[in-house]
Structure formats: structure tokens, C-alpha cells
Amino acid sequence: MVNFEQVQKLRDRANISYEEAKKALEETNGDLLQAMINLEKQNKIKAPEAGGYYNSQGEQQGGKGDGRGH
């Protein structure tokens, strides 16, 4: 179940309508990051200056390092 605060947060970050934000969150079961990735892939939002949420092969980018503090 998606709540108003989640929809509002996505709207603020992605500059999209309430309906678009709600639909994107419902499709990802409330996962804000995955909703942003999906919207970016659908060209509904612009990728951030630093690159985006997924790489050119369509794979989600992780953080820096190997997850063990390296």
C-alpha cells in the first residue's frame, strides 16, 4: 500500500504529477528508488547530472566499493 507521503516525496524528487508518482510507486510496491529507475528508463524523468540510476546496459548501479568498506 502506497501512502501520501511516499507519493509526495517522489513528486518532489521527480517533478511529476500525483497520478504518475502514485502509479510508479504502486508498480514497485512503494520502492522509491526502483520507481525513480523505472521513470528514468521510461524517459519520464531526466537522469541526474552524475549519470543516473542505471547503466547503459539497463543494470541498476550500486554504490562505490564492494560493500565491505573497500
> What are 20-42's pLDDT values in tens digits?
999 999 999 999 999 999 999 99
Dihedral angle, C-alpha 53, 55, 57, 61, nearest 10 °: -70
CA distance 55 to 22: 25
Does the global pTM surpass 0.75?
no
What average pLDDT does the segment 5-23 reach? 95
Range list of β-strands (E), 1-70:
none
